[in-house]
Amino acid sequence: MSFEITLPDNPSELREEIMKLLGEPYQYARALLIHSESITLRRNWVAMYNLRDAFDHLRNVLFAIHQGNTDMVIARRETLEVYDHIRRAIVESAQDTTEYLLYKLDEKLMNPHFLYKLAWIKVPSQIEINEAILSVKTKMEAGRQEKNKFYEWKNVVINYKEAEDIIIELDKKLPTRQEVYFRIASILSILLAAYGIYITN
């Protein structure tokens, strides 16, 4: 799934291409930036800088095709820059969100796996977890492979979104480390209390 732009020599047609860029690509960039910041709870500076640069280049386009001062060489070049910065904002946001979620999942996973059994908590098996993480990494790698392809940002978004969905689904099935430690401590406390009662009788 690709997105392509044209660079016509006619100012009015080039304006149409600019409007196209401010349609779907910009809406993707904006939505993914907001999504990234809501998930990571931090500013997505890379995407923000790229959107800022996109609008700097957009200003250059508008000046280049201003009535009586038309320079289509500059206008076409700057239009390409507008697109490239919007594209980068999209792919960087998609990658940043998924990498953050994978990092948080890795923090949550207990090692060794038998600690879940010790806490009497049912979770996916180690094999299931490994398969899910492998699938995530495969999709993320596919996203990285497409990342620098000029018109393939939609494929990048799809790959990272699929990876994100797998992470979220696995995360729902796992308790936090604090919950596991609390359960283990509670079980040990009960066992020690029972043993104490046993040996005093």
Predicted local confidence at residue 51, as pLDDT: 97
**Does residue 189 carry a pLDDT above 80?**
yes
Ramachandran class of 167: left when φ > 0, alpha when ψ lies in -120 to 50, beta otherwise: alpha
Predicted local confidence at residue 68, as pLDDT: 61
Name the average pLDDT for the chain. 91
Mention every residue, 6+ apart, whose C-beta is less than 8 A from residue 39. 97, 100, 101
Average pLDDT over residues 1-17: 84
What is the full DSSP assignment across 11-72? HHHHHHHHHHHTTHHHHHHHHHHHHHHHHH-S--HHHHHHHHHHHHHHHHHHHHTSTT---H
pLDDT, one tens digit per residue, over 18-52 is 999 999 999 999 999 999 999 999 999 999 999 99
Please give the structure tokens belonging to residue 35. 């999504």
pTM of structure: 0.87
Residue identified by tokens 């392809």 is 149
**121 with 183: CB under 8 angstroms?**
yes
The gap from C-alpha 139 to its chain's centroid, in whole angstroms, comes to: 12
Predicted local confidence at residue 67, as pLDDT: 62
pLDDT, one tens digit per residue, over 115-145 is 888 888 899 999 999 999 999 999 999 999 9
- Of 12-16, 164-168, 172-176, which has the strongest mean pLDDT? 164-168
- Please count the other Cβ atoms lying within 10 Å of the Cβ belonging to residue 97: 24
